[in-house]
Amino acid sequence: MVVPLEMGWRHLLFENWPIDPAVMDAHLPDGLEPDVFDGSAWLSVVPFTNVAVRPKGVPARFGVRLPELNVRTYVTRDGTPSVYFFSLDAQGITSVVGARLFHHLPYFYARISLALADGRVQFSSRRLHPGARPAHYEGSYWPTGEPFAAPDDAFAEFLVERYRFYTEAPDGTIRYTDVDHEPWTLYPAAADIERDTLLSADGFDRPDGEPTYYYSPGLDVVASRSERASGQP
């Protein structure tokens, strides 16, 4: 990324499955280790929309909206709890190209819709990126309980209170970006996911059992420039 970015993340679902840490480790680049909770690594699918995405310091009214869907896990490097992305599907062609070039993120162009109806978020994504594995996600999700601060719940804090993400650049180097935002407010959530081929597209067998769901109305974020991680050849 050439300059830091400001944006809002809105109407997020965190859909989370436990994974054997050894299985997860086989999917990660050298230099990153699976972070574990209750003895498991965790794999998450996160549909949401970005709003007012723009260079830091530019008024929000000049920002763009960018619906997104990502597959991620939780890692550590040098003791820092972080996120690692396996894929990010997004609506805007220009934004996808920019994120690939400047942020080294595995973005894929997709046709995405997000709408609110009767207290639920209706979300649909179909990957259209040339040469990429097909991936389709469709369903709805909604909050089911009272809001709570993520730092007050150990598992929720593990999943969302992370302020760095890592990516692997095309040349094999590991890069990171830091993010700054207020602590998350979450809700217990439910979801009706009618179709999801994202995990298979990213090389994972679908986990057994039902995922754990959290919903957040969102927060505002500042993301730093992409930096090369230290200690690499």
Query: pLDDT, tens digit, for every residue of 209-231?
Result: 899 999 999 999 999 988 888 87
Instruction: In whole angstroms, give the CA distance from residue 47 to residue 155.
Output: 19
pLDDT (0 to 100) of residue 2: 62
Burial 8-24 (b: 16+ CB within 10 A, else e): bbbbbbbbbbbbebeeb
Domain ranges of the chain: 5-228
Answer for the pair 7, 52: CB distance below 8 angstroms, yes or no: yes
What integer best gives the mean pLDDT of the chain? Answer: 91
The mean pLDDT value for 73-97 works out to 85
Please, what is the Cα angle at 88 between 29 and 198, to 5 degrees?
90
33-34/5-19 β-pairing: unpaired
Q: Distance between alpha carbon 205 and the CA centroid of its chain, in Å? A: 19
CA 1 to chain centre: 17
Q: What is the pTM of this model?
A: 0.93
C-alpha–C-alpha distance, residues 34 and 115, integer Å? 34
Alpha helices in the chain (DSSP H): 21-26, 93-103, 154-160, 198-201
Q: What are phi and psi of 69, to 5 degrees?
A: -145, 120
pLDDT of residue 1: 43
The CATH architecture one would assign to domain 5-228 is Beta Barrel (2.40)
pLDDT at 99: 54
Q: How confident is the model at residue 102 (pLDDT cuts 50, 70, 90)?
A: low
